[in-house]
């Protein structure tokens, strides 16, 4: 018989601190004045980044700009058709999550099966829900092929999922972010599908948070935090004395996972508050129109100019994780298209500032 869902954890000072930070950010977001156009632009950027980073965690090779082109049906990348399908599938599933959240639809097993079908459906909006796996799956180390985790047997998956859903929907006094953290862990632990479990877990987390009032106007993304801390993400999920679900994994203390999750949520919320504050200060549709002219990388690069009058290609490289040659080429491209201006002509130590057109976005 499967072990019933009884999460084991303790409320640490770090957890309390993170919850307080999240609540503070939530209040600021709720009261931040934004024009509809600015809010729409920020939401669109968040959707693209959520899709990019959640698929990137699973090995998708498309960068953020390529993801945007695929989703806008403006680009195709030969040899990466599978990556394109994953991106379109995730975006379709994420859109469904937003619809359910807007209508206040409580989470059900059928919804989970629909989300998974959308993920695997290459962007199709009408899909047949996928049933849970009918056999054993094994998670192995990509290099050594050693078994990293042995999920519960297929015959136990339905009862475990049902127990998890009941726990999520029952009346309790736990803060919504804590419920989301535990649900994320439990879904990944059950691993009810052969493929797509991580992406589905992150979508379920998003739905729980949105239903609980933690959508923050739909303009923040936890996935970027996970992707930039991928080792910590998997380490925090890997709990228990054994890789076997039945030998301690089900009863593992998941306090450190909850701390990791809530720290990421607090960080992501605080970051979006900074972005919203700046957007609110811009205050005009003319400026929101300028934002719409920028691609995802340019929008993200604006954060550097909030702290620095001029920047170097090295700073761009550190922001995006690029090699020096790539970041230099990107800066040169941005100079040509009018986003940046060169402040000195020396190739060595060349510096850049925002062009006059876009300077107002960070200095209003």
Residues with Cβ within 8 Å of residue 127, at least 6 apart in sequence = 114, 117, 118, 121
Domain limits, CATH 1.10.3290.10, in the chain: 13-279
d(CA 268, CA 21) in angstroms, rounded, equals 11
- Rounded to the nearest 5°, which phi and psi values hold at 253? -80, 115
Question: Quick check: pTM over 0.85?
Answer: no
Residues with Cβ within 8 Å of residue 92, at least 6 apart in sequence = 118, 119, 121, 123, 124, 125
Q: Which CATH architecture has domain 13-279?
A: Orthogonal Bundle (1.10)
Q: How confident is the model at residue 3 (pLDDT cuts 50, 70, 90)?
A: low
Sign of CA dihedral 363, 49, 205, 128: positive
| Residue-wise pLDDT tens digits, 91-150 | 999 999 998 998 888 999 999 999 999 999 998 988 999 999 999 999 887 778 888 889
Q: Is 59 left (phi over 0), alpha (psi -120 to 50) or beta?
A: left
CA angle 228, 230, 234 (to 5 degrees): 155
Of residues 240 and 124, more confidently modeled: 124
- pLDDT(4) > 70: no
Sign of CA dihedral 6, 226, 133, 87: positive
* DSSP for residue 249: I
- pLDDT(69) > 50: yes
Bridge partners (DSSP) listed for residue 158: none
- pLDDT(37) > 90: no
- pLDDT(184) > 90: yes
Q: Would you give the distance in Å from CA 152 to the centre of its chain?
A: 27
Q: What CATH fold (topology level) applies to the domain 294-359? A: Arc Repressor Mutant, subunit A (1.10.10)
Mean pLDDT of all residues belonging to the chain = 87
- pLDDT(288) > 70: no
- pLDDT(364) > 60: no
Percent of the chain with pLDDT over 90: 49
Average pLDDT over residues 271-281: 74
> In the chain, which ranges are continuous DSSP H helix?
13-30, 36-57, 64-71, 81-103, 109-119, 154-169, 176-190, 197-211, 223-228, 230-237, 255-282, 285-293, 296-305, 313-320, 324-336, 356-359
Domain limits, CATH 1.10.10.10, in the chain: 294-359
What pLDDT is stored for residue 229 in this prediction?
A: 78
Angle between helices 154-169 and 109-119 (to 10 degrees): 110
Q: How confident is the model at residue 275 (pLDDT cuts 50, 70, 90)?
A: confident
d(CA 215, CA 68) in angstroms, rounded, equals 22
């Amino acid at each position: 018989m499967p072990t019933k869902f009884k999460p084991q954890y303790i409320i640490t000072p770090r957890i309390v601190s993170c919850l307080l930070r999240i609540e503070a950010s939530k209040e600021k977001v709720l009261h931040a004045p934004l024009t509809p156009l600015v809010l729409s632009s920020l939401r669109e950027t968040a959707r693209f980044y959520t899709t990019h980073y959640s698929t990137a965690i699973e090995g998708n090779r498309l960068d953020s700009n390529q993801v945007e082109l695929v989703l806008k049906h403006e680009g195709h990348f030969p040899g990466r058709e599978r990556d394109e399908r994953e991106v379109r599938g995730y975006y379709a599933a994420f859109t469904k999550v937003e619809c359910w959240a807007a209508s206040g639809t409580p989470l059900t097993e059928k919804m989970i099966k629909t989300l998974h079908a959308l993920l695997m459906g290459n962007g199709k909006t009408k899909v047949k829900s996928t049933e849970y796996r009918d056999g054993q799956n094994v998670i192995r180390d990509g290099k050594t092929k050693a078994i990293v985790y042995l999920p519960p047997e297929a015959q136990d998956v339905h009862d475990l999922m049902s127990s998890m859903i009941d726990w999520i929907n029952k009346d309790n006094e736990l803060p919504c972010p804590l419920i989301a953290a535990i649900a994320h862990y439990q879904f990944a632990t059950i691993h009810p599908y052969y493929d797509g479990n991580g992406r589905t877990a992150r979508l379920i987390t998003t739905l729980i948070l949105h239903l609980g009032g933690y959508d923050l106007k739909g303009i923040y993304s936890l996935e970027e935090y996970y992707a930039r801390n991928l080792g910590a993400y998997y380490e925090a999920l890997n709990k228990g004395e054994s890789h076997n679900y039945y030998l301690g994994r089900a009863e593992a203390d998941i306090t450190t996972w909850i701390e990791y999750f809530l720290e990421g949520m607090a960080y992501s919320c605080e970051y979006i508050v900074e972005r919203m504050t700046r957007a609110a200060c811009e205050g005009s549709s003319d400026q929101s129109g300028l934002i719409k002219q920028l691609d995802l990388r340019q929008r993200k690069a604006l954060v550097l100019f909030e702290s620095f009058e001029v920047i170097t290609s090295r700073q761009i490289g550190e922001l995006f994780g690029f090699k020096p040659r790539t970041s230099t080429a990107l800066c040169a491209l941005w100079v040509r298209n009018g986003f940046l201006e060169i402040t000195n002509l020396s190739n060595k130590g060349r510096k850049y500032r925002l062009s006059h057109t876009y300077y107002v976005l960070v200095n209003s």
